[in-house]
Amino acid sequence: MKLIEILLIIVAFFIGLEFLIHICSKNRYELKYSSQKRKIEIYPTDKSHPITR
């Protein structure tokens, strides 16, 4: 039972992270993660350079 709870927490974490990345890319924001400080920065993209998709 403990294993199922841990797996559900991990799955919920990655779904939340994926949702955050999706919203940021939709609204033209960039996401930066630095591992040594464990810090996440979200800032607007440079709008002078259009993104080709």
pLDDT category at 6 given cuts 50, 70, 90 is: very high
Tens of pLDDT along 11-52?
999 999 889 888 888 888 887 878 776 787 888 877 665 555
Structure tokens, 33: 């993660």
Which CA distances in Å does 25 have to 5, 28, 53?
Answer: 30, 5, 12
